[in-house]
Amino acid sequence: MLSQTGRYALRALDYLATHDDGGYKLVKDISGELNIPRQYLSKILHTLACEGLLHSQRGRSGGFRLSRPAKQITLYEVIDPIDHLSRLCACIMGEKPCGEENPRGDDDPCALHEMWGEVRGKYLDFLQKTTLDKLSSDV
């Protein structure tokens, strides 16, 4: 449902959010702290930087930082470039996309369309409504 890579991304951005002091954080430090393979995390953060969620800075005193306040970044924005959430739109019975407008490809709605859509919807809704700052907020 959520890929390993997506999990890494969430944890790293959570780190950036909770340690946000305006400066750049090193991949080395994040990966050490969170126990995520360093070079791999580097690629993940690079991807998110390309998406505009992060700023990266090369050279000494460089690193990564959030490009917006954590409160303005949704989990959806983090996960989508990694997990390609639109693929989730496939019908549970397969083959063709079975979206709201296009159940089973034409007007032959899969019997489980509604229930399945509800489950999927709950997940996507959750990702879209939850912002990064919520990840570490104490209950």
Q: Which residues bind a copy of itself (CB under 8 A)?
A: 1-2, 4, 7-8, 10-11, 14, 35, 88, 90, 92-95, 109, 111-112, 115-116, 118-120, 122-123, 126, 130, 134-139
Reading the block at residue 128, the tokens are 């879209």
Cβ proximity to a copy of itself: between 35 and 61 the closer is 35
C-alpha of 60 from chain center: 28
Cβ 62 to a copy of itself, closest distance in Å?
26
Q: Please report, as ranges, the residues that interact with DNA according to CB under 7 A.
A: 3-5, 8, 24-28, 37-40, 42-43, 45-46, 49, 56-64, 82, 84
CA distance 16 to 108: 47
Which of the listed partners (a copy of itself, DNA, none) does 106 bind, with a CB threshold of 5 to 8 Å by partner kind? none
Cβ 101 to DNA, closest distance in Å?
25
Cβ 114 to DNA, closest distance in Å?
24
Give SS3 for 80: helix
Element (H, E) at 62: none
Which of the listed partners (a copy of itself, DNA, none) does 58 bind, with a CB threshold of 5 to 8 Å by partner kind? DNA
Q: How is residue 111 annotated by DSSP?
A: T
- Nearest in space to 54 (alpha carbons), one of 83, 15, 1: 15
- Nearest in space to 78 (alpha carbons), one of 131, 24, 15, 4: 131
